A and B are shown apart, each in its own frame.
Chain A
């Protein structure tokens, strides 16, 4: 069965500190992996995506993610968070041979403290 797990429902981080959000997936086919961010009352914005090649992917807003096939993980990182990074973050998985239907994790809420 296909699944996406974001183990952390809620993370609080100080402004300027580093951030890591975890994502684990179970997917039979070769996965496409994504991270989206959602501000309150808004739609989802794509931060980065992985299809193949270099397992360290750079995205927008200073985020990066690393694909680790052996651990079935695609963790999101940012070296130094800004107050504007407070939002909900979703990991998503799609099959490489599909037309674009994604399965999303339940999300991780990030709170940034001064």
Chain B
């Protein structure tokens, strides 16, 4: 078990382009979370999956954002028509149901130019 993996580590994209990030949680973890962290701030909750079901989305997750976890294993976060305000670190975390606290990945740093 290598922990929570996120790919890519860094992404630079031009405004208006679409980007997709991937998260591979710890294999036995059935819960998966996405957070966004902007410079100088703590992480902010975006969305949460239990198995393949997306159970809650933050108001931060505009229509340009979509997240999937098709087989209850890895998850993808897609941002369409990126804007400069989307520049941030996107963090994925996973846990077992009922666990108190979770394990974060190293994040994907997105820069929109």
Contacts and interface: CB of A to CB of B under 8 A. Distances in A.
Interface of A: 4, 32, 34, 36, 41-46, 49, 51, 90, 92, 94, 99-107
Q: Chain B contact residues (Cβ within 8 angstroms of A): what range?
A: 20 to 34
Which of A45, A101, A107 has most B Cβ within 10 Å? A101
Contacts of A101: 33, 45, 48, 56
30 contacts: A32-B101, A41-B107, A43-B91, A43-B105, A43-B107, A45-B104, A46-B101, A46-B103, A49-B100, A51-B100, A90-B43, A94-B100, A99-B31, A99-B48, A99-B50, A99-B97, A100-B95, A100-B99, A100-B100, A100-B102, A101-B33, A101-B45, A101-B48, A102-B43, A102-B45, A103-B45, A104-B42, A104-B44, A106-B40, A106-B42
Nearest to A50: B100
Contact of B104 (A4, A43, A100, A106): A43
Given A43-B105, A46-B101, A100 B42 contact: no
Q: Chain A CB within 10 Å — which of B6, B95, B101 has the most? A: B101
A110 to B, nearest CB: 15
Interface string B81-113: 000000000010001010111111111010000
B79 interface: no
Chain A to chain B: the 8 pairs with minimum beta-carbon distance, closest first: A104-B42, A43-B104, A43-B106, A44-B104, A104-B43, A90-B42, A49-B101, A43-B107
A99 B55 contact: yes
